[in-house]
Amino acid sequence: MAEHGEAAAGAATGAAAGGAAARGRGRPGRRRVLSEAEILDAALGLLGEKGAEAVSVRGIAAAVGVAPNAVYTYFPDRAALVGALVERILGELDRAAFADPGRPWRYRVHAVAAQLRERLMARPGAVDLLLFGPMDGPNALALGETLLEILAEAGLTTEDAARASYLLIVQVLGFVALEAAEVDRAAPVPSEAERVAARAAALRAVPAEAYPRTAASAGTVARYVTGEQFRWGLDRVLDGLVAGRSVK
C-alpha cells in the first residue's frame, strides 16, 4: 500500500514537472532587441567582407540573428536599405574639411573628392551602392548643396554650378568604380603601390610590336589607380570649368 502511494506521488510530481516544462516551451522567449543602427552596422560589415551583392535583407537578418521580418520592420525592401546605407556612408564624410569658406574653392573641391574616394575605397563594394542607389537623403543633399556653394564661389552661374556639380560627382564615382573593379571586394584592398606593381606586370605582357603606344606609355597607364592620377583628372575638369564659365 505504501509502495502504491509512493508511486502515485511520483507520478503526480512527474506530471507537474512535465506540465511546467510544457508551459515553458509554449511561452514565447525574450525577443531580440534590434535597432536601425545595428542593421546598418551589419550591412556595412557584409559590404566590407563580401561586397554589395551580399547586402540583402536575409543576409543581414542572418548576421544579427533575427528573422527577416525583423529587418522589414525598419526597411520595407532592399531599396530602402540601400538608400539608408548610402546616407550612412556619406554621413562619414568630414564636412568641416571642405565646408570652410576661408579655404580656396579648388582646395575645397579636392577635399570633397579625396574624402569620397577614400571612404568608398575603404569598402570597394560601396561604389556600387552610390552608382545604383538613391542619393536623395539629407546627407546627399547637404553634400550637393556644399558643392553648389563652392562652385558659386568659383564664379559659375547657378545653371553652370548645377551642371558642374553633377560632372564632378560623375568624375569621382567613375574613377572609383574603375579603381574598385580591379580589387577583390571581399578582401582587404592592396596598397596603392601593390596595385600599381600588379598593373605594371600585366602591361609588360602586352606585345610592343602590336601596341607600341600602349607599351611606350605603360608606366603612366600602370599609375591610373593612384591619387596622382585622380588629382590630375580632377584638375583638368576644374580647369575646363573655369575656362568655360559663363558671366553671371
48: domain CATH number is: 1.10.10.60
Q: Which of 19, 49, 76 is the last residue of a domain?
A: 76
Q: Judge whether 111 lies within some domain.
A: yes
Question: Minimal CA–CA distance to 226: which of 121, 123, 130?
Answer: 121
- Write out the H or E segment, with its range, that includes residue 63: helix 57-64
> Residue 224 sits in a domain of what CATH number?
1.10.357.10
For residues 191 and 139, state if they share a domain: yes
For residues 144 and 199, state if they share a domain: yes
As a whole number of angstroms, the distance between CA 123 and CA 188 comes to 9
For residues 71 and 169, state if they share a domain: no
pTM more than 0.85: no
Q: Judge whether 9 lies within some domain.
A: no
Residue 115 pLDDT: 95
For residues 42 and 156, state if they share a domain: no
Q: Judge whether 10 lies within some domain.
A: no
Residue 113 reports pLDDT greater than 90: yes
Question: Minimal CA–CA distance to 241: which of 137, 192, 173, 171?
Answer: 171
> Torsion over CA of 95, 100, 105 and 110, rounded to 10 degrees?
-30
For residues 222 and 123, state if they share a domain: yes
Containing structural domain, residue 224: 94-243
Instruction: Pull the grid cell for residue 128.
Output: 556600387
Q: Which of 24, 44, 76 is the last residue of a domain?
A: 76
Residue 2 reports pLDDT greater than 70: no
Residue 16 reports pLDDT greater than 90: no
For residues 232 and 114, state if they share a domain: yes
Q: Judge whether 248 lies within some domain.
A: no
**In total, how many domains does the chain have?**
2
For residues 50 and 162, state if they share a domain: no
Residue 18 reports pLDDT greater than 70: no
Q: Judge whether 30 lies within some domain.
A: no
As a whole number of angstroms, the distance between CA 206 and CA 212 comes to 9
Q: Which of 44, 76, 108 is the last residue of a domain?
A: 76
Q: Judge whether 26 lies within some domain.
A: no
For residues 138 and 238, state if they share a domain: yes
- For 151-188, what is each residue's pLDDT tens digit? 999 999 999 999 999 999 999 999 999 999 999 877 78
Q: Judge whether 81 lies within some domain.
A: no
For residues 126 and 204, state if they share a domain: yes
CB atoms within 10 A of CB 113: 24
Contact 162, 119 (CB under 8 A): no
- For 36-91, what is each residue's pLDDT tens digit? 999 999 999 998 888 888 888 999 999 999 999 999 999 999 889 999 999 999 99
For residues 48 and 134, state if they share a domain: no
Q: Judge whether 101 lies within some domain.
A: yes
For residues 71 and 98, state if they share a domain: no
For residues 102 and 209, state if they share a domain: yes
